[in-house]
Structure 1
Amino acid sequence: MSTSDATTPQRGRPTVLDRAAITTATFRLWAERGYAAVGWKDIAEATGISVRTLVRHFARKSDIAWVGVPAATRRLRGALDEMPADVPAADAVRRAIVASISDDPMSPAGPDWIRVVCSEPEISGTAPAAYRPWITELAGFLERRVAGISPTAATALASGYQAATFAALVGWSESGSHEHAADAADEALGWLSLSPTGSDRETAES
């Protein structure tokens, strides 16, 4: 995850929040005390940001868990936009998803993040809404690159890719593997195909 400005404990209201720093501090508290035991006051004390400011920027405590998803979506979009037109759609999607994965342990690919998300129903229950922009981005690419695919099918496939990627990351986290999270996702996604009949139906975007 990347940020533009750092926020340090200070008096008064900060004009820009360092959302990544807030996430890191909050995940540290969740890991030490458990999600349910950490309230807004605890997060405020750990970050130096008032409860009022925190709740103005995060409607729910669980929203803090998804701070890294917009950045991952931007990386996905950039990788898809730069993908050569002659790359088969399935390969293009796999490469772009792999490129969107960060090694930051508090990002939506790190083992600490995965453990908390998987163990807390309040967080996992908000996943569909959090990942909707990512899925929409990928679905748009599939509509442009796969011949004959409907918007409904493109969205379904994009949702499937998101689920498959997350499952691969969960398996990677639980295995204790020393390989990068992106490598685990790359290996898993390599088994997926976009051809419903086994023939090449894709068309490159002109």
Structure 2
Amino acid sequence: MTPSDAPAPQRGRPTVLDPPAIAAATFRLWSERGYAAVGWKDIAEATGVSVRTLVRHFARKSDIAWVGVPTATRRLREALEQTPGDVPVDDAVRRAIVASMSDDPMSPAGPDWIRLVCTEPELAGTAPTAYRPWIEELAEFIAGRTPGMPRAAAMALASGYQAATVAALVAWSESDTDERAATAAEQALAWISIASA
């Protein structure tokens, strides 16, 4: 191999990043100091990851709040795919939403996370974009299991389920209970029913 045939050297080291660990450390900082008071330098110091690397992986500071949503979306999809066809659609949806949740207190559905994303305007403002894949996954299932339902109606129902889940989690995070977040969400979602055509 001649020098001209050799592959160009890579600049820098490959990045190995643990997004859940970054999120957990960042959530702690936000809880202690407030969202606005925490900058990239603070996050870098808390995580041991350079500011440059953080900014390369998270376009905005608010993106860190949503690192758990793709995993929750994957768990939702898997639960929906494993649902037998004879399970009523509203039961299937409720079970899948509960299966998509995590018990980690610093992850989506944890009390600290809920308080942060619901009280910080920038985080609340990015929620619709962050949750869009989760909602679309749920809407696809609802439309597939409810013949004749227009896509817009399925999206509206899926969005309603997401809003109801967040409302249940907010109430749960504000209560003094040992109940699991998933249990609180399941109890609230039991009140929602999808009428079949």
Q: TM-score scaled to structure 1, two decimals?
A: 0.88
Match of residue 162 from structure 1: 162
**How far is 1:41 from its partner?**
0.4
- Greater CA radius of gyration, 1 or 2? 2
Letter in structure 1 aligned against 2:80? L
Q: Does 2:185 match 1:188? A: no
Q: TM-score scaled to structure 2, two decimals?
A: 0.92
Q: Which residues of 2 match residues 23-102 of structure 1 at below 5 A?
A: 23-102=23-102
1:89-146 C-alpha deviation (Å, 9 max, x unpaired)? 0100001001111101111100010111111101010000000000000000011101
Alignment RMSD: 1.0
Match of residue 122 from structure 1: 122
Aligned length: 186
| Secondary structure of 2:160 counterpart | helix
Q: Does 2:104 match 1:104? A: yes
Please give the alpha-carbon distance, in whole angstroms, between the structure 2 residues aligned to 1:80 and 1:90: 11
**How far is 1:15 from its partner?**
2.3
The unaligned stretches of length 5 or more in structure 2 are 1-11
**How far is 1:13 from its partner?**
4.6
Please give the alpha-carbon distance, in whole angstroms, between the structure 2 residues aligned to 1:72 and 1:97: 9
Please give the alpha-carbon distance, in whole angstroms, between the structure 2 residues aligned to 1:176 and 1:163: 22
Match of residue 204 from structure 1: none
Q: Does 2:150 match 1:150? A: yes
| Secondary structure of 1:169 counterpart | helix
Please give the alpha-carbon distance, in whole angstroms, between the structure 2 residues aligned to 1:16 and 1:133: 25
Letter in structure 1 aligned against 2:145? R
1:164-202 C-alpha deviation (Å, 9 max, x unpaired)? 00000000110121110000011000000101xxxx43x
**Paired residues of 1:13 and 1:53 also in contact (CA < 8 A):** no
How much identity, in percent, do the aligned residues show? Answer: 75
**How far is 1:14 from its partner?**
5.3
Structure 1 runs (4+) deviating above 4 angstroms are none
The unaligned stretches of length 5 or more in structure 1 are 1-11, 202-206
- With over 3 angstroms needed to count, the CA separation of the structure-2 counterparts of 1:26 and 1:13, relative to structure 1, is farther
Please give the alpha-carbon distance, in whole angstroms, between the structure 2 residues aligned to 1:155 and 1:176: 33
| Secondary structure of 1:125 counterpart | helix
**How far is 1:16 from its partner?**
2.0
